Structure 1
């Protein structure tokens, strides 16, 4: 495959990871609480922020499969990727306008940016089979995640220095420095997306002379209904989706709740932010290592190993008592987080039909997005019922164990054969892969 095209695709991970690190994980949650919602009680601010997250997730989870189906039919994945990416960039830059008490504006702009980020990722992921052959997918997917760790980590480090040492940069306070940090995310995202937008040319799938007698939206819903009906023929893919739903629940909850959990047991803000940076930069070589590991022992075994480490992380998290422990856990998470996510993406990409990349990655996106709702809910319910946040973190072990067990039932090679045999929609009703 074209190496330049692969590098261009991977650079988008470098570009949009700035949003994931600076806005989603590190800076915006603190800014929302201390600036945008400073006129609200702590409990109300927390509720509004949680609601903001849920709305953003729900919007993407609801629309992603339909948009994917439309994009596959129309050959417009790149158009959709551009649209959502520019939406995310604009939302990030406009966060500059949020001031004290502007919690509603902050929520709206964050939802806009989050929908752009997550919606764009559906179509970005769907291009993986376009830029990598089956035997290359593990390497290219993990390398892209490593690019994301580097890009997101570099800008996060710059922004944290700018916010904490705001006077060095001529800002009157950390608030103004934070507002400018949001602008840098949009600019960074735009600049490093240019190689992908410029170099990746999409070819329309299907008969170009075929006449369209329905709207794209109607076609999208129709194709989604068809996919639901025929999903039973993709037996290996279906098992993997369920397994992914389980362990992705655990991973996404750890990502979203780690700093919150750390703060409840007395870990300071500076230590929490420093640990996040550690996770980013440990993740760079470790994600690349998982690419090699997948080649040596198979992607499924490498993914299983990463999930087993997560089981250990959850257990150690239950016993954590100091900032040093939190740093050690940050190293452990950085070791496996990128590898687990990248290998999940490449395994899934192998087992989907060539003519429905965006549509199936829409389902993949739904799985991960709803996981972002259920995992934190289990964490919160467990902690609430027991009055102990440690039991909340320990409850996540169930997701990883079930995910590991189901993953062992997946035959990836058979899944590839199923996808290839069923690429023709007419074959759905008469072919069942042996």
Structure 2
């Protein structure tokens, strides 16, 4: 039976994976784990005999996880397209990431090398799953709905993850439960709600019947997609621009909480913890209307123009952070602006790429190039951030590199030919 696009139940199930997995970037990447990490790991840490700043070590481990995803996702995506087993790969990385989150319960600074393995694998699981998750968007809906559906997914993720964060905060601050239990809850939430997605998402939409060497056939599938990609000027230029501005966006999102811990003049440790959590919640809730507003504007003036506007705002955020952000009230204001543009640029970046894809059955392979671009961008961005901080001893100097990423990304957007798909 042929699959019919725009089925509301399937689309709803697809967006629920955002609800399920977004607890990882909020609880583990942005909120509770970074604060936990700062409290249990000393400022200077010995890692396999090398003395590193604790945040520098964290940025390197995160960068390594992205390198791993960038190396394995293209060939796995080719295999997924050829075999029609995209959902199986999605499940594998979901369960890897969620179980690694739960293993953070055993994080011990005395065994830092072993403990950072959980950080590494949780990141690999989360980002690896997105390759296969994002590839479903052009398969379940027509292009005219991509902006709206992408925004709905991200918005649902912001809501769901905020709910779990609030639950964790009540357990930690009101009931005095150890913060480590929040890592277990994160994994359980991720696995539990993803079952809604798996129950409805179609498997092997195009009825592929793999024969012979799947690895070889998957690699050949990837080569075919690469040739198609190179011949599509709009897609390649957009991907290049996305690669550059993602260095800025993702680095800010990953390292912002560490900026808050080191560069903001909190009254004491208690106010710092509370203030950082408030900032994260501000970002989450403002990102919801931001995502929907940007999706609405894209229908009026086009995707590329809206992304360009977002990048200008990101540049302003970075300049402000470098120049004067030092007090809690400054940090709250910046958090609000970050939230407003974060939802918009994330959802539009995904849907814009989806709209530019040619007519194909190899969506996973095409999205692997999108995700590899994002991962390499994060590697370079977080590595540059950590390296500059380690070299200068001043985290604010790292922000200058982020400004450069946004400026170059904006200029590259101007090179994208006008397309009916984006207007």
Give the alignment's TM-score, normalised by structure 1: 0.86
Q: Corresponding residue for 1:98?
A: 107
1:373 paired residue among 371, 379, 382: 379
In the TM superposition, residue 144 of structure 1 has moved relative to its aligned partner by 0.7
Q: Corresponding residue for 1:181?
A: 182
Q: Provide the rounded CA distance (Å) in 1 between the counterparts of 2:243 and 2:402.
A: 13
8 Å CA contact 1:75–1:205 kept in 2: the answer is yes
Q: Corresponding residue for 1:111?
A: 120
Name stretches of at least 5 consecutive residues in structure 1 with no aligned partner: 172-176, 417-434
1:145 paired residue among 134, 143, 154: 154
Q: Corresponding residue for 1:4?
A: 9
Q: Provide the rounded CA distance (Å) in 2 between the counterparts of 1:233 and 1:113.
A: 36
Q: Corresponding residue for 2:363?
A: 357
1:73 paired residue among 71, 78, 82: 82
8 Å CA contact 2:104–2:119 kept in 1: the answer is yes
* Aligned-CA RMSD value: 2.4
1:29 equivalent in alignment to 2:34: yes
Q: Provide the rounded CA distance (Å) in 1 between the counterparts of 2:45 and 2:397.
A: 29
1:323 paired residue among 325, 328, 340: 328
In the TM superposition, residue 261 of structure 1 has moved relative to its aligned partner by 2.4
In the TM superposition, residue 408 of structure 1 has moved relative to its aligned partner by 2.4
**342 and 201 in structure 1: CA distance in 2 versus 1, 3 angstrom threshold:** same
**36 and 101 in structure 1: CA distance in 2 versus 1, 3 angstrom threshold:** farther
In the TM superposition, residue 284 of structure 1 has moved relative to its aligned partner by 1.3
1:239-318 counterparts in 2 under 5 A?
Answer: 239-268=237-266, 269-270=272-273, 271-318=275-322
**9 and 166 in structure 1: CA distance in 2 versus 1, 3 angstrom threshold:** same
Q: Provide the rounded CA distance (Å) in 2 between the counterparts of 1:290 and 1:37.
A: 41
- Report the 3-state secondary structure (helix = DSSP H, G, I; strand = E; otherwise coil) of the residue aligned with 2:239: helix
8 Å CA contact 1:318–1:391 kept in 2: the answer is yes
Q: Corresponding residue for 1:159?
A: 168
Q: Corresponding residue for 2:412?
A: 406
**380 and 31 in structure 1: CA distance in 2 versus 1, 3 angstrom threshold:** closer
Work out the number of aligned pairs and report it. Answer: 405
- Report the 3-state secondary structure (helix = DSSP H, G, I; strand = E; otherwise coil) of the residue aligned with 2:40: helix
1:412-423 counterparts in 2 under 5 A?
Answer: 413=419
Deviations 1:252-283 (A, max 9, x none): 11112212223332343322232111101111
**38 and 411 in structure 1: CA distance in 2 versus 1, 3 angstrom threshold:** closer
**304 and 44 in structure 1: CA distance in 2 versus 1, 3 angstrom threshold:** closer
Deviations 1:366-399 (A, max 9, x none): 1111111212333345556666533321332221
Q: Corresponding residue for 1:199?
A: 200
Q: Provide the rounded CA distance (Å) in 1 between the counterparts of 2:66 and 2:83.
A: 25
Q: Provide the rounded CA distance (Å) in 2 between the counterparts of 1:109 and 1:415.
A: 41
Q: Provide the rounded CA distance (Å) in 1 between the counterparts of 2:61 and 2:397.
A: 26
- Report the 3-state secondary structure (helix = DSSP H, G, I; strand = E; otherwise coil) of the residue aligned with 2:167: helix
Q: Which one is further off, 309-318 or 324-333?
A: 309-318
8 Å CA contact 1:37–1:102 kept in 2: the answer is no
8 Å CA contact 1:236–1:415 kept in 2: the answer is no
8 Å CA contact 1:5–1:200 kept in 2: the answer is yes
**207 and 384 in structure 1: CA distance in 2 versus 1, 3 angstrom threshold:** closer
Q: Provide the rounded CA distance (Å) in 2 between the counterparts of 1:313 and 1:237.
A: 28
Q: Corresponding residue for 1:422?
A: none
Q: Provide the rounded CA distance (Å) in 2 between the counterparts of 1:184 and 1:384.
A: 34
Q: Corresponding residue for 1:14?
A: 19
Q: Provide the rounded CA distance (Å) in 2 between the counterparts of 1:239 and 1:393.
A: 26
2:350 paired residue among 336, 345, 348: 345
Q: Provide the rounded CA distance (Å) in 1 between the counterparts of 2:73 and 2:398.
A: 30
Q: Provide the rounded CA distance (Å) in 2 between the counterparts of 1:372 and 1:126.
A: 20
- Report the 3-state secondary structure (helix = DSSP H, G, I; strand = E; otherwise coil) of the residue aligned with 1:203: coil
Name stretches of at least 5 consecutive residues in structure 2 with no aligned partner: 1-5, 267-271
- Report the 3-state secondary structure (helix = DSSP H, G, I; strand = E; otherwise coil) of the residue aligned with 2:169: helix
8 Å CA contact 1:76–1:204 kept in 2: the answer is no
Q: Which one is further off, 226-235 or 153-162?
A: 226-235
Give the alignment's TM-score, normalised by structure 2: 0.89
In the TM superposition, residue 139 of structure 1 has moved relative to its aligned partner by 0.5
**231 and 39 in structure 1: CA distance in 2 versus 1, 3 angstrom threshold:** closer
Q: Provide the rounded CA distance (Å) in 1 between the counterparts of 2:184 and 2:415.
A: 46
In the TM superposition, residue 34 of structure 1 has moved relative to its aligned partner by 3.3
**236 and 38 in structure 1: CA distance in 2 versus 1, 3 angstrom threshold:** closer
